[in-house]
C-alpha cells in the first residue's frame, strides 16, 4: 500500500491551546509524520496507492465502469453471465475476484426480480448491494489476512467505545488498524447517503450484515484517530480509499505537498530542504459530525437527509482546500457550534450533555417550513421578515448550516425582483453572498449530490448579482469573487443542471458578455 514509508515516523503531538477555535477541552493527541532521513526540495517523500477503488455512487448505473476492475469501459459492454452487471470483457484481470465474491451476491439479487419488484426498487437494491460488496472488498479481497477478521470479532466483544479505542491503539500492525478504520468510514458513508443495506437481508448473509453493523458502531474510533481520507474529485467517475498521506499537507506546515493522480494514488513531495527529524506534516482530523435528520420539505433531497462533517487541521484548526463539509448545529446548553455523535447519541463536546434529537429536528423542521413559505412570497415585506428569521436561525442552528444557506440563497435570488430596494437590502445581499461563497469554497473540492444542490442554488444568487451590478459600486468586489466560483461551477456537471435547455445557456452567456463589454468581468471558459 505504501512505498518508501520507512522514511517517515508517526508521532503524536500534544495540543491544549484553549484560545484556538473550535475550543477543545484538555490535551489532544495530534498524529503527525516526522522524517527519518534528510530530504531535498522536490524529492518524493512517500507514495501511496489506493487501498480500494470503485465506481462513484451516482455513476454506477450508467454502465461505463467495469464491475470487476472498476476501469472505464471503452468498447461495448459485456455483461457478466451470472449477475448481468457490466464488465470490460471476459479477460478482465479482476474477473476471478468478482466471480468468487461480488457475483454470488448480485446473482442472488437477480433471483429476487422474479418475485415481481418494481424496476426502481430493483435498481436501488442492486446499488445497495454493490456498496456492501465494495466495503468487504476492502478487507476480504485486498487483504486475505485472517488476523484482521479475528480483530473484528474481538472488537465485537468489547462493550464500550473507550475500550475499543484502547484495543486498536495497542496493536502493532499499522495496516491492520488502517483497514478497519477505512472500512468503518466506507460503511458510514454508504449509510449516510441513504444506501446502506438492503431492507431485507439476503438469505445466508446475516453474518455479513452483523459485521457491517459492527463497523458502524466503530464510527467514533474513526473520528478519534482521524487518519482516513476519501477523495471524491477523481476525473474518471471513481472513488478511492486512502490511509493517511492524501489528507495531511496543510498551510500551517508547508514542508510537504500532496499530489493526486486521476486514479486516487497520492505522492507526497518535499516543498523545501529539511533534515532528519523534521515534522513533515500534520494529519487532518474529523472531530465533529452532525447526525443527519430527515427533511420534510418537498425538496428534502436538497435540504434534508444530509450527513455533514467539519474537517479541520489538527494543529491550527483551520479548514483547508480539502474541507469536506459545513458547520453543525449549536448546543442548546453551552452555545458551542460543534457536536459529535457518540454511541448513536448527540453529545456536545463542550459540556458533554446529550442534546435531544427531537429538539434539533423541530428547529430543522421550522427552518424548512420557512423555506417552503417564503419560496411562494412575492412582496418586499415578506423578505424583510425573512432576513429577521435568518438571523434567528443563525443563533439556533449555525450561520453556515445547509438549511440557513438555502434560505440566504433564496433571499439573494428573490430580492433583485424588487427594483426599489434600498442600499440596506443590497448590503445584506452582499453579506449573504459572502457567506454562500465561503461555504461553496469548501464544498466544491469534491462533488457529491448535495454539493451540486448548493452550486445549483448559487447560480441564482449569481444572477441576482448581475441584476444589481450596474446600480452600485459595492458589488464590484463581491462580483469578482462570485465570478471566480462560477467559473469553477461552469466546468462541472452541477452547474449544467441549472440549465434545462440550450437556449437558457445561451441567454446566460449573453448576459455575461454584456457585463464583459462594460469591463466588469471576464468571460468563463466556453468549454
Q: Phi and psi at residue 308, in whole multiples of 5°?
A: -110, 130
User: d(Cα 508, Cα 494) in Å, to the nearest integer?
Assistant: 16
337 Cβ contact list (under 8 Å, min separation 6): 22, 327, 328, 329, 330, 331, 398
Q: 3-state class of 29 per DSSP?
A: strand
User: d(Cα 323, Cα 229) in Å, to the nearest integer?
Assistant: 11
Among candidate residues 189, 254, 248, 252, the one with its CA nearest the CA of residue 216: 189
Which residues face 44 on adjacent strands?
269
Question: pLDDT tens digit string along 202-222?
Answer: 444 444 444 444 443 333 233
Please, what is the average pLDDT of the chain? 52
Is the model's pLDDT at 276 over the cut of 70?
Answer: yes
Rounded to two decimals, the pTM is: 0.33
Which residues face 463 on adjacent strands?
none
Question: pLDDT tens digit string along 302-335?
Answer: 222 222 233 333 344 433 333 332 233 444 555 4
State the CB neighbour count (10 A cutoff) for residue 50: 24
Among candidate residues 410, 336, 403, the one with its CA nearest the CA of residue 376: 410
Identify the pLDDT of residue 389: 85
User: Between residues 98 and 367, which one has the greater pLDDT?
Assistant: 98
User: d(Cα 155, Cα 163) in Å, to the nearest integer?
Assistant: 9
Is the model's pLDDT at 90 over the cut of 50?
Answer: yes
**Can you read off the three cell numbers belonging to residue 41?**
526540495
Among candidate residues 385, 401, 330, 386, the one with its CA nearest the CA of residue 359: 330
**Can you read off the three cell numbers belonging to residue 318?**
483551520
Is the model's pLDDT at 382 over the cut of 80?
Answer: yes
Are the CB atoms for 268 and 257 separated by under 8 Å?
yes
Q: Which of the four pLDDT bands, split at 50, 70 and 90, describes residue 408?
A: confident
> 498-501: which pairs have CB atoms within 8 A and are 24 or more residues apart?
498/456, 498/459, 498/460
Are the CB atoms for 39 and 270 separated by under 8 Å?
yes
In whole angstroms, how far apart are CA 364 and each of 360, 396, 435, 476?
6, 10, 19, 34
Helix (H) / strand (E) element for 30: namely: strand 28-35
Is the model's pLDDT at 120 over the cut of 60?
Answer: no
Instruction: Report whether the peptide linkage leading into residue 11 is cis, meaning its omega lies within 30 degrees of zero.
Output: no
Identify the pLDDT of residue 75: 72
Identify the pLDDT of residue 258: 66
Are the CB atoms for 283 and 30 separated by under 8 Å?
yes
User: d(Cα 287, Cα 292) in Å, to the nearest integer?
Assistant: 16
Are the CB atoms for 245 and 46 separated by under 8 Å?
yes
User: d(Cα 70, Cα 87) in Å, to the nearest integer?
Assistant: 9
Q: Which of the four pLDDT bands, split at 50, 70 and 90, describes residue 287?
A: very low
Question: pLDDT tens digit string along 131-185?
Answer: 444 444 443 333 444 455 455 556 555 555 456 555 655 544 434 444 444 444 4
Is the model's pLDDT at 80 over the cut of 70?
Answer: yes
Helix (H) / strand (E) element for 281: namely: strand 279-282
Identify the pLDDT of residue 71: 63
Which DSSP letter does residue 145 get? -
Cell 433471483 sits at which residue?
111
Bridge-based pairing of strands 309-313 and 86-87 is unpaired
User: Between residues 73 and 130, which one has the greater pLDDT?
Assistant: 73
User: d(Cα 338, Cα 348) in Å, to the nearest integer?
Assistant: 7
**Can you read off the three cell numbers belonging to residue 407?**
434560505
DSSP letter string, 366-390:
HHHHHHHHHTT--SHHHHHHHHHHH
314 Cβ contact list (under 8 Å, min separation 6): 15, 28, 30, 31, 32, 226, 282, 283, 284, 285, 287
State the CB neighbour count (10 A cutoff) for residue 261: 12
Is the model's pLDDT at 246 over the cut of 80?
Answer: no
Q: Which of the four pLDDT bands, split at 50, 70 and 90, describes residue 102?
A: low
**Can you read off the three cell numbers belonging to residue 415?**
430580492
Among candidate residues 401, 396, 390, the one with its CA nearest the CA of residue 333: 396
Are the CB atoms for 233 and 445 separated by under 8 Å?
yes
Question: pLDDT tens digit string along 421-450?
Answer: 666 776 777 777 767 666 555 444 433 434
Helix count and strand count (H, E) for the chain? 17, 15
User: Between residues 369 and 75, which one has the greater pLDDT?
Assistant: 75
163 Cβ contact list (under 8 Å, min separation 6): none
Question: pLDDT tens digit string along 485-518?
Answer: 544 444 443 333 333 344 544 554 454 445 444 4
User: d(Cα 63, Cα 449) in Å, to the nearest integer?
Assistant: 19
- All structural domains of the chain, each given as residue ranges with its CATH number in brackets, are 2-50+242-282 (2.170.270.10), 52-225 (no CATH), 309-517 (no CATH)
Amino acid at each position: 500500500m505504501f512505498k518508501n514509508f520507512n522514511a517517515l515516523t508517526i508521532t503524536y503531538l500534544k495540543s491544549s491551546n484553549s484560545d484556538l477555535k473550535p475550543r477543545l477541552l484538555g490535551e489532544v493527541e495530534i498524529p503527525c509524520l516526522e522524517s527519518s532521513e534528510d530530504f531535498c526540495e522536490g524529492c518524493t517523500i512517500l507514495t501511496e496507492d489506493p487501498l480500494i477503488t470503485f465506481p462513484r455512487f451516482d455513476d454506477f448505473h450508467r454502465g461505463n465502469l467495469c464491475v470487476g476492475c472498476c476501469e472505464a469501459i471503452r468498447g461495448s459492454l459485456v455483461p457478466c453471465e451470472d449477475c448481468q452487471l457490466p464488465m470490460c470483457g471476459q479477460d478482465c484481470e479482476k474477473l476471478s475476484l468478482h466471480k468468487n465474491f461480488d457475483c454470488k451476491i448480485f446473482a442472488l439479487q437477480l433471483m429476487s426480480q422474479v418475485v415481481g419488484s418494481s424496476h426502481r426498487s430493483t435498481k436501488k437494491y442492486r446499488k445497495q448491494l454493490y456498496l456492501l460488496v465494495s466495503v468487504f472488498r476492502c478487507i476480504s479481497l485486498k487483504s486475505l489476512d485472517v488476523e484482521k477478521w479475528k480483530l473484528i470479532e474481538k472488537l465485537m466483544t468489547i462493550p464500550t467505545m473507550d475500550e475499543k479505542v484502547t484495543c486498536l491503539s495497542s496493536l502493532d500492525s499499522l495496516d491492520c488498524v488502517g483497514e478497519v478504520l477505512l472500512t468503518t468510514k466506507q460503511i458510514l458513508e454508504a449509510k449516510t447517503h441513504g444506501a446502506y443495506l438492503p431492507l431485507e437481508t439476503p438469505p445466508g448473509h446475516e453474518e455479513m450484515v452483523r459485521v457491517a453493523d459492527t463497523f458502524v458502531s466503530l464510527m467514533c474510533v474513526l473520528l478519534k484517530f482521524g487518519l482516513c481520507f476519501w477523495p471524491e474529485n477523481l476525473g474518471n467517475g471513481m472513488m478511492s480509499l486512502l490511509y493517511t498521506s492524501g489528507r495531511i499537507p496543510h498551510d500551517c506546515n508547508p514542508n510537504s505537498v500532496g499530489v493526486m493522480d486521476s486514479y486516487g494514488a497520492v505522492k507526497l513531495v518535499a516543498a523545501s530542504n529539511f533534515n532528519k527529524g523534521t515534522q513533515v506534516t500534520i494529519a487532518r482530523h474529523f472531530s465533529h459530525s452532525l447526525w443527519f435528520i430527515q427533511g420534510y420539505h418537498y425538496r428534502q433531497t436538497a435540504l434534508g437527509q444530509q450527513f455533514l462533517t467539519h474537517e479541520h487541521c489538527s494543529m491550527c484548526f483551520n479548514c483547508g482546500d480539502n474541507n469536506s463539509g459545513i458547520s453543525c448545529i449549536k448546543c442548546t446548553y453551552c452555545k458551542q457550534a460543534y457536536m459529535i455523535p457518540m454511541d448513536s447519541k448527540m453529545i456536545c463536546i463542550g459540556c458533554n450533555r446529550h442534546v435531544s434529537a427531537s429538539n434539533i429536528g423541530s428547529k430543522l423542521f421550522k427552518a424548512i417550513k420557512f423555506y417552503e413559505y417564503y419560496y411562494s412570497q412575492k412582496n418586499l415585506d415578506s423578505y424583510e421578515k425573512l432576513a429577521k428569521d435568518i438571523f434567528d436561525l443563525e443563533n439556533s442552528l449555525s450561520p453556515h448550516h445547509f438549511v440557513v444557506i438555502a434560505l440566504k440563497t433564496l433571499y439573494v435570488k428573490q430580492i433583485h425582483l424588487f427594483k426599489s430596494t434600498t442600499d440596506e437590502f443590497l448590503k445584506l445581499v452582499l453579506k449573504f453572498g459572502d457567506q454562500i461563497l465561503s461555504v461553496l469554497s469548501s464544498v466544491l473540492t469534491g462533488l457529491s449530490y448535495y454539493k451540486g444542490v448548493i452550486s445549483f442554488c448559487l447560480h441564482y444568487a449569481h444572477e441576482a448579482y448581475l441584476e444589481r451590478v450596474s446600480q452600485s459600486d459595492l458589488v464590484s468586489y463581491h462580483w469578482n469573487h462570485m465570478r471566480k466560483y462560477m467559473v469553477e461551477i461552469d466546468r462541472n456537471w452541477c452547474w449544467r443542471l441549472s440549465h434545462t435547455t440550450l437556449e437558457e445557456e445561451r441567454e446566460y452567456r449573453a448576459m455575461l458578455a454584456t457585463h464583459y463589454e462594460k469591463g466588469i468581468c471576464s468571460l468563463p471558459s466556453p468549454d
